[in-house]
Amino acid sequence: MGASMNNGLLLVLSGPSGVGKTTIARHIEKELGGVFSVSMTTRPKTVKDTEGVDYTFVNREQFERQRGAGEMLEWASVFDHFYGTPRRPVVEALERGELVILEIDVEGAIQVKIRLPDAFAIFIEPPNEQALLDRLRNRKRDDEAVIQRRFAEAKREIDRARSSQVYDRFIVNEDLSEAMSRAAEIVTSKRQGA
C-alpha cells in the first residue's frame, strides 16, 4: 500500500537539534490536522511521561519481537534503550486518509523510505552554522561541551541528509514563522497531488 493512498500522507520531518523542527511539526499538526506517530521505547517511563502519548513503553523482549517480525518502520538504539516507530498504527492512519507526522533523525528517515517509499520527507536546516550554534547556546539547556558535541553531530546530520537522497524538500529556517508557513504550504500541495 502506498503511503499516499486515500489522500493519507506520511510526513517525515528531520533536522538537527535547535533548528526548530518540533515547532514546525506542531504547526503542521495544528494547521493541517495531522497526527503524530507515537514511538515505542524500552526506556523506563518517567513521571512526566504519558503512556500512549509520549511513548508506548515496552520491555526489551517485546520490542525485539516486533522488530524481528518486521513490525517497525524504523528503530534505533540510543544509550542502551530501543526507540522505534510501530508500522501498524501508521499504516492504519494512512488508510483512513490522515496526515501522519514522524519527527525522526536521518537514519530513521532512510529506514522509513525503504519500507514506505511514498513517504514525503522534509529536512529543516539552519541558515548557516553560526546560526545553529547560536540557537543551541540560546536554549540554555546544556553546558558548552554538550553544545559543541550537539553542534558537531548537527553538521554530520546535515551532510548525511544531503547525501542520502531521501529528502523530498529542504527548508531553511531563517525566520521561524516563514519556515512554518512554507512547510505547511509544501505539505498541503503534496496532499493535493501537486
Distance CA 193, CA 92 (A): 21
| pLDDT tens readout for residues 36-83 | 999 999 999 989 888 888 889 999 999 999 999 999 999 998 888 999
Residue in the structure block whose three cell numbers are 508557513: 181
Distance CA 79, CA 29 (A): 29
Confidence (pLDDT) at 11: 97
Q: What is the pTM of this model?
A: 0.88
* Average pLDDT estimate for 95-108: 94
Q: Would you kindly state where each structural domain of the chain is located, as residue ranges?
A: 5-191
Q: Is 122 helix (H, G, I), strand (E, B) or coil?
A: strand
| pLDDT tens readout for residues 107-120 | 999 999 999 999 99
DSSP-assigned beta bridge partners for residue 103: 13
Per-chain mean pLDDT for the chain = 91
Task: Give the CATH class of 5-191.
Answer: alpha beta
Quote the Cα angle for 148-15-72, to 5°.
115
